[in-house]
Chain A
């Protein structure tokens, strides 16, 4: 099974780097996205811990994958995210506060207005069920002869589910322009990958679907972007679907409602911190002369301000009026449901509390 890594855990580069690695501005933009995503993640957890946010699924440690995906996609492509692909969503125009809104329990967190996020899917909570949607989306693209690609994201846990297999089993039949991106963060809540499957890799599941599968170091943003961009280009050029397994590690608990200390050893987590995607990328950028302490200081201030602004925007946004629960249910509310809406509306605002 092919495995790609350019940057090791210390940020030392090896192999021939892709063309985009010569574009300093682009490289810095990738770094900014990773740092901002992590800062937003920290803020979300602290908001939850202080009772200002609902249960939150952290993407801590997986920032390189979302960043790589965001930069590998073109605007016209379609992202079908799972629920830790925040960086990719931010890159495509989802405002930071939407993630907070969503985990606060507000559907407007998924009402993306900016392109290209506007034509992307919202994050998906049920495991793997979003993956076969890509078959229909990509089929529509092919039917219309559009040069677009679908990036269908899921985690390691999703590769145990039938929905995942039903999708990868048929994608090649129609040579659909799909890249299946499996973020293998080693854990499906309390189940380590070794107890999820007897397969040596998750990438090899592509073989069953007759398509290429490969592994990449998902904590190496250069390698992940390169591998995804190559798979996306192949799909766009009619080369059909493929699967990329990005190896990473879930540094946080499954969600803020979970306590991973119950089922995994602390030294495993500490060892994973040594492979942190941001640390190694920063070291490499500095070694290349693309980054320094002054830039880091400026970014820290900028990102903090941006995250604070997002938190303020979220906290300052009141809930929709209660009758909004009816207003996007159907294109037009059926006659039979109008009295229910009226009853909710007549009771008025919910007041404080939940």
Chain B
């Protein structure tokens, strides 16, 4: 089993699924001859040719709309948007059309498409390259929103996203593209799109996160373990639909929960999870659910992005508040 980075796993999933299913096409800006700005589509053009690996003009609305058109004809388009901030022109197409065609035609039409984009900051990128858009899409009915955190999950979840009969927004953690390697088996096995992953078990505290923040969350759990606190770590992975059952079961066991998100705080997906915990898990909680998040600021440019991004210390600070209120007995 080869050790792959997350971006290599994304690339492998597309190679694998394009070979398996002739209806899969990929499209986007600079994804063909150039292999993608992050190299996610390297080798696809040579292997599958220019008809299935489509270099589009520099027009994000068109990329999303074209994917919609392709998908209505039974193809399985995987569209790349280069940077998360450039997803905004796609919102109209994805929300007003992709997410609605099945419902408004009462099942006559469907849009089995995937829109892939890097998500989040931490790579000192230029302006508009570091935003976290998961909640923008997760709020919208008719979509699935996936945010993988490891190479193996990126591979398995992308296969699932391409095979899913409905539109999927697939947000890849930019900062983790080349952060670490992991063995990834090219076995064509998809992972479930309706389940959180319990990364590690623990009885004292539940840490919930997704995407790039999983990396810091795991490190925080390591630090807590050194202090004798056993954190259960949950990778939400699929934000919409949200598997609250797994999170509630964990909190029923631990009684403490901290949720970590990179996106701005107000109305983020951590808030949605927290509200669900208040509604369905309050009686098993020993302490308030705490959120670690980006601030309600515009995403800072590179020099100050570390002031914004949650990190291990900020996660630990919230965890300490929880244990101050509800000490480990």
Contacts and interface: CB of A to CB of B under 8 A. Distances in A.
Answer whether A and B are interacting partners. yes
A122 B97 CA distance: 11
Interface of A: 107-108, 110-112, 118, 121-122, 126, 129-130, 132-141, 143, 162-163, 166-167, 169-170, 173, 328-331, 334-337
A140 B22 CA distance: 12
B244 interface: yes
B68 interface: yes
A331 B166 contact: yes
A169 B57 CA distance: 9
A321 to B, nearest CB: 13
A134 B69 contact: yes
A331 B106 contact: no
A121 to B, nearest CB: 8
Q: Which among B56, B59, B101, B194 has the highest number of chain A CB atoms within 10 Å? A: B59
Contacts of A121: 72, 109
A330 B51 contact: no
B40 interface: no
Nearest to B112: A331
A328 B103 contact: yes
B2 to A, nearest CB: 32
Contacts of A122: 101, 104-105, 109
A135 B72 contact: no
A30 to B, nearest CB: 28
B65 interface: yes
Contacts of A169: 57, 59
A334 B102 contact: no
Given A111-B105, A122-B101, 13 more contacts: A110-B105, A111-B106, A132-B66, A135-B66, A136-B65, A136-B68, A137-B72, A140-B69, A328-B105, A330-B142, A331-B102, A334-B194, A335-B194
B302 interface: no
A170 B97 CA distance: 21
A170 B56 contact: yes
Contacts of A133: 65-66, 68-69, 72, 97
A330 B142 CA distance: 6
A330 B68 CA distance: 15
13 contacts: A126-B96, A126-B97, A132-B93, A133-B66, A137-B72, A138-B69, A166-B61, A170-B59, A170-B62, A328-B103, A328-B106, A330-B142, A336-B241
The 7 closest A-B pairs by CB, nearest first: A136-B69, A132-B65, A334-B241, A140-B73, A336-B241, A331-B165, A111-B106
B103 A107 contact: yes
B71 interface: yes
A198 to B, nearest CB: 23
A160 to B, nearest CB: 14
Q: Which among B75, B105, B110, B141 has the highest number of chain A CB atoms within 10 Å? A: B105
A261 B207 CA distance: 62
Interface of B: 25, 51-52, 54, 56-57, 59, 61-62, 65-75, 77, 92-93, 96-97, 101-110, 141-142, 165-166, 194, 241-245
B160 to A, nearest CB: 13
Contacts of A126: 92, 96-97
A108 B106 contact: yes
B108 A129 contact: no
B57 A173 contact: yes
A205 B297 CA distance: 41
A129 B97 contact: yes
Contacts of A167: 62, 65
B33 to A, nearest CB: 15
A329 B142 contact: yes
B75 A140 contact: yes
A235 to B, nearest CB: 15
Contacts of A329: 102-103, 141-142
A209 to B, nearest CB: 11
Contact of A162 (B25, B61, B67, B108): B61
Contact of B65 (A118, A140, A163): A163
A121 B66 CA distance: 14
A333 B165 CA distance: 12
Contacts of A337: 241
Nearest to A331: B165
Nearest to B59: A166
Contacts of B52: 143
Contact of B106 (A107, A129, A139, A334): A107
A292 B59 CA distance: 54
A22 to B, nearest CB: 36
A335 B192 CA distance: 12
Q: Which among B54, B70, B141 has the highest number of chain A CB atoms within 10 Å? A: B70
Nearest to A137: B69
A121 B109 CA distance: 8
Contacts of B66: 132-133, 135-136, 139
Nearest to A138: B69
Contact of B71 (A108, A136, A330): A136
Contacts of B70: 136-137, 139-140
Contacts of B61: 132, 162-163, 166
Contacts of B107: 111, 328
B104 A137 contact: no
A336 B69 contact: no
Contacts of A129: 65, 92-93, 96-97
Contacts of A328: 102-103, 105-107
Contacts of B68: 133, 136
Nearest to B108: A111
A317 B201 CA distance: 55
B230 to A, nearest CB: 28
A136 B102 contact: no
A166 B103 contact: no
A16 B121 CA distance: 65
Contacts of A336: 194, 241-244
Contact of A110 (B57, B77, B104, B194): B104
